[in-house]
Amino acid sequence: MLFAIKVMQTLVDGKYSAAIQMLKGRSVMDATVVDNIDKTLNEQMANILPYYGRIMGYELVDEKFLKNTVTRRRYILQFEYYFLSFDFVLYNNSKGWSVSHFYYKDETKELF
């Protein structure tokens, strides 16, 4: 689960591609899917930063467990004026955690 923290901190550091590329090798997602997320996030960040303001940090806002096998960790990436929500669904195969799903959005309805 430290993996999700590393990804979030890398996003805070402004290294969007590096953060997303970390999913390769730790995820069941195909490399082309990761590359598409990388491209989309970089394009979107360029468009939203003028409106959302600079990145201020991140915070873990929700975590749910299914025993010690599956967990969902929801973080918010905090900007000056708004936020993005990042969800990591992690699977423990008893040898370590891997990412089974990853997504981000700017909607509030699932936060409450």
Q: Residue 92's domain spans which residues?
A: 2-105
Q: How confident is the model at residue 1 (pLDDT cuts 50, 70, 90)?
A: low
Query: Phi and psi for 85 in degrees, rounded to 5?
Result: -100, 130
Give me the CATH number covering residue 39.
3.10.450.50
Mean pLDDT of 21-48: 93
- Look at residue 110 and tell me if it is in a domain: no
Residue among 112, 65, 57, 63 at smallest CA distance from 84:
57
- Look at residue 92 and tell me if it is in a domain: yes
pLDDT for position 39: 96
Average pLDDT of the chain is 93
- Look at residue 111 and tell me if it is in a domain: no
Q: Model confidence over 35-83: pLDDT tens digits? A: 999 999 999 999 999 999 999 999 999 999 999 899 999 999 999 999 9
Residue 95, helix vs strand vs coil: coil
Report the length, in residues, of the chain: 112
Percent of the chain, pLDDT > 90? 82
Tally the domains of the chain.
Answer: 1
